[in-house]
Amino acid sequence: MADKPYESSVTPSFLQRNWQKLIALLFWGILLGGYAWYYTSHNLTPLKAVQQIVDLLQTPSGPLLYILIYALRPLIFFSTIVLTVTAGAVFGAGSALNFALAVIYTVIGSNISAMLAYFIGRYFGQGLLQESEGSPANGIQKYASRLRRNSFETVMIMRFIFLPYDLVNYLCGFLRINWQPFLLATALGSIPGTIAFIAFGASVDLSQLETQGLPPPNPWVLGFGVVIMGVSIAISRYLKKREANQASSENQDEQEQTNVLNTSIS
């Protein structure tokens, strides 16, 4: 009788399971290190960065370059606010049409960048969290399950209260929530902040930017931003309250099912 082939029951180590991710993380770290070196060696400041970006965007291909820069921005954690204000200054001044185009360019670029960060987070989170409902649940797993059940509302709340943009994107990917409600909530929830920062950028005089720096906030633009933020917070509180009521209802249903099951067993 032939011997059965030997089957190894040894569980692969963390390094064996994740060596590709570690290599990707290494290259990402090299990219961040190169950006940090460039930033420090050229004594860059946010204002100088804006001036360099403005020079790039004041060309016929400026809108495409802007969308490309915005899309790749999360790889080096470049500020969304700086880019959005720059778009307002370059594309949004002069007319309502220019303002609308600046908003459209930013919405396109920001959503591409959000999905890039989402899929990067999803890649690094693969295999670290169980997605099945029957798997043992720890604190992170419970939070991830709740986020998946209420993806749209939760992401909308995080957008409306202006949590760090990239943090939300990477976290949602890492926790492996459904990409469709994530994208929809991101597209809708980012619009108020986008409009507010585009409006601020549109009030900047580019001819005075290099010599005088950023101007003081325009009172009307500042008031508009405050109104947008107030509306966003009000909507986020409403969504959060609705999400809490929904979670309470789900917990009550689960408790009732448990009670019925215990009664039938006894």
Provide the residue range defining the domain that includes 53: 46-251
Tell whether 209 is covered by a domain: yes
Indicate if the pLDDT at residue 94 is higher than 70: yes
How many domains is the chain partitioned into structurally? 1
Q: What is the mean pLDDT of residues 197-211?
A: 76
Task: Say yes or no to pLDDT of 4 above 60.
Answer: no
Residue 44 confidence (pLDDT) above 60: yes
Place of tokens 């899929």: 119
Asked whether 70 and 106 are in contact (CB, 8 A), the reply is: yes
Tokens of 37: 């070196």
Q: Using alpha carbons only, how large is the chain's radius of gyration in Å?
A: 24
Whether residue 27 lies inside any domain: the answer is no
In a domain, 176, yes or no: yes
Of 26-35, 53-62, 198-207, which range is least confident? 198-207
65 within domain boundaries: yes
- High-pLDDT (> 90) share of the chain, %: 26
Reported confidence tier of residue 9, pLDDT bands at 50, 70, 90: low
Residue for token digits 């930033």?
39
The whole-number average pLDDT for the span 158-179 is 87
The proportion of the chain whose per-residue pLDDT surpasses 70, expressed as a percent, equals 70
Q: What is the pLDDT of residue 263?
A: 63
For residue 181, how many other CB atoms are within 10 A of its CB? Answer: 18
- Domain membership flag for residue 26: no
Q: What is the rounded average pLDDT of the residues 27-44? A: 88
Domain-located, residue 202: yes
pLDDT value, residue 73: 93
Alpha helices in the chain (DSSP H): 14-41, 46-57, 62-72, 80-91, 96-125, 139-149, 151-160, 165-174, 179-189, 191-202, 206-212, 219-265
Across 47-51, 61-65, 157-161, 242-246, the highest mean pLDDT is recorded for 61-65
CA distance 145 to 231: 29
| Mean pLDDT taken over the chain | 79
pLDDT band at residue 67 under the 50/70/90 scheme? very high
192 closest CA partner among 158, 166, 167, 225: 225
**pLDDT score of 109 more than 90:** yes
pLDDT at 75: 93
User: Does 19 reside within a domain?
Assistant: no
Per-residue model confidence as pLDDT tens digits over 119-157 = 999 998 887 765 555 554 556 677 677 777 778 888 888
pLDDT score of 69: 94
Q: Assess if residue 265 is contained within a domain.
A: no
The better pLDDT of the pair 67, 243 is held by 67
